[in-house]
Amino acid sequence: MKSLKDLSGKDLIRSLCAHWNYVEHAQEGLHFQLRTHQPSIHKITIPDQPVLNVKTINAVLLAVARHKGTTKEHIIKTLEYSP
């Protein structure tokens, strides 16, 4: 398993869709927009890069945690990493 600082955009998108009820809503260039309706509508944009910047990962995880009413650490435990 890779470390969090080696997380790709596709890995993050896959995990958020599989575990946090997000779906791919749109793509513009190298950015994917995900959307969820649980518990309310929330949109988040994730760059499709082979390795995401740690600040980008942190910002996405904090936004998802805030929306879902959980902690960033709980979301990290559900992340799936490609070998």
Q: Is the pLDDT of residue 4 over 90?
A: no
Determine the topology of domain 4-78 in CATH.
Metal Transport, Frataxin; Chain A (3.30.920)
DSSP 24-74: EEEEETTEEEEEE-SSS-EEEEEE--SS--HHHHHHHHHHHHHHHTS-HHH
Tell me what the mean pLDDT of segment 43-64 comes to: 96
Q: Which helix (H) or strand (E) holds 19?
A: helix 9-19
Q: How confident is the model at residue 81 (pLDDT cuts 50, 70, 90)?
A: low
Q: Is the pLDDT of residue 51 over 50?
A: yes
Tell me what the mean pLDDT of segment 10-17 comes to: 94
Cβ-defined contacts of 69-73 (< 8 Å, 24+): 69/39
Q: Is 23 helix (H, G, I), strand (E, B) or coil?
A: strand
In angstroms, how far is CA 53 from the centroid of its own chain?
A: 13
